[in-house]
Structure 1
């Protein structure tokens, strides 16, 4: 049965508008969808709240994913503080969600893979009754049963427009889609597990590609993590990374070089990544090297 919400808004003493939702025909309390924000000439929502039991903790996933659960953690902390309900709808991606901030604007990208996995869950029809998965593509199903494809190998524009019709204002459709994602994440462990699996699958594939580009066999995990984080955020090009790695095998110098990429604009993020790596290293959980033949990290 489709889940519906009543959407309300409130202007805080700070002047900020907050949007909340309550599931219809239930005793569930209201929950925060997000806050209205302006970014350049755009208007949208953001939700960066971090609440107990809704945060990515590597220890919860080490049993299933081993070191990879720790490997993605610095990026998770930099992206969202680990919040499974992190969201924004105000930039060119139009809709971004999850603790790793999967963005809807990339064809065959992380958000598309993530959403497809969600749509395969039994309760997907409760949250998105008009969105269906067929032949590994996302479609909108109208009232007469006609299917319209929302994404393909070259574009996700129609999917973006479904989730967030425009960047000129916060619309009802945008609020409804955001409420669905937040509620689904908070109330369904499988949703959060899919967020994690998507992140680890992504970083595993990225490491294969980055090894081919940069030659990372036996490179320390912290060097590999910085490369993954730089490319995930997009604060540096492959050429800049290659230059940073050109140290005649001195990985400590390479690490310092990588930490300088984007520092003029993103020092806070870089500090978060470094501090998280340092914490994991102190705990004895980051002393690994990448083994290209195994396509995996091995303990020193």
Structure 2
């Protein structure tokens, strides 16, 4: 049976609006969905809350995913403090979710592929009763039974507008979809596992592609990780990265990479460097990349 979420809002003494949701007819307590915010000329929601039991930890997933569970951990930390519930609906992506902040606006991008996987779960119709996965694409099903495709190889506009109709104001549909994602991630271990699996798949695919472009075979894990984090955030270009790697000293290459984007993103760079150092000191990151197998040894 599809969940029916009832939304409640409250304004604190500083004028900040919070939204809460509860499943109609359920004895479960209401839960926090998000705060309202304004970014430039856009209005939307954000949830950056961190709960001990709902934070990505590589050690929880290393048994299934091996070293790759640690390889994504520093990015997860700086993106969202590892929160499985991280949400924002106020920027040009219209809807972003998960500890790696998967964004809806890219055709066949990280969010679209993540959402497709979620829609294969047995409880998907409980959360999104109008959506169907047909031939690998996301469709909307109307009361009349007709279906319309929400995303394709060139556009996700209809999917963006389904999740968040506009950024002119916070709307009921936006709140309901946000509540669905937050509740699903909070209460379903398999949802969280898909976030992890998809994040690791993304970085594994990226490593294969980046290695072909930058010849990363034989480089230490921390150099490869920094390349992935730079390009995941978009704070540097291939040309700038290639220039940073143009040295026979791998430690120097790493430090060069750490200067990319430092005018605007020094705190993020400091965060990933600190996390990488801890992984190195524990012996976890003392591996090198082997392009033929796309693995670290």
2:243 and 2:20 map into 1 onto residues whose CA distance is: 47
Partner of 1:23: 23
Deviations 1:99-130 (A, max 9, x none): 10000001001101100000000000000000
2:265 and 2:16 map into 1 onto residues whose CA distance is: 25
2:217 and 2:278 map into 1 onto residues whose CA distance is: 24
Matches within 5 A, 1:109-120: 109-120=109-120
1:160 and 1:114 map into 2 onto residues whose CA distance is: 14
2:107 and 2:95 map into 1 onto residues whose CA distance is: 13
1:71 and 1:128 map into 2 onto residues whose CA distance is: 32
1:218 and 1:73 map into 2 onto residues whose CA distance is: 21
1:175 and 1:86 map into 2 onto residues whose CA distance is: 14
Structure 2 segments unaligned to the other structure (5+ residues)? none
Partner of 1:175: 175
CA RMSD of aligned residues (A): 0.7
2:161 and 2:214 map into 1 onto residues whose CA distance is: 37
Partner of 1:192: 192
1:262 and 1:35 map into 2 onto residues whose CA distance is: 29
Matches within 5 A, 1:29-178: 29-178=29-178
Partner of 1:6: 6
Deviations 1:49-96 (A, max 9, x none): 000110000000011111000000000001000000001000000000
Deviation of the 1:251 alpha carbon: 1.2
Deviations 1:198-257 (A, max 9, x none): 00000000000000000000111111111111111111111111111111x211111111
Partner of 1:250: 249
1:95 and 1:285 map into 2 onto residues whose CA distance is: 34
| Dislocated runs of 4+, deviation >2 Å | none
1:22 and 1:284 map into 2 onto residues whose CA distance is: 45
SS across alignment from 1:288: coil
Deviations 1:2-45 (A, max 9, x none): 00111011111222111110111111111111111111110100
- Which region of structure 1 is more displaced relative to structure 2, 233-242 or 117-126? 233-242
Partner of 1:229: 229
2:116 and 2:53 map into 1 onto residues whose CA distance is: 25
Taking structure 1 as the reference length, the TM-score comes to 0.98
Structure 1 residue 206 and structure 2 residue 243: aligned?
Answer: no
Structure 1 residue 285 and structure 2 residue 284: aligned?
Answer: yes
Taking structure 2 as the reference length, the TM-score comes to 0.99
2:12 and 2:220 map into 1 onto residues whose CA distance is: 47
What is the number of equivalent residue pairs in this alignment? 297
1:278 and 1:15 map into 2 onto residues whose CA distance is: 41
2:100 and 2:27 map into 1 onto residues whose CA distance is: 31
Structure 1 residue 296 and structure 2 residue 292: aligned?
Answer: no
SS across alignment from 2:52: coil
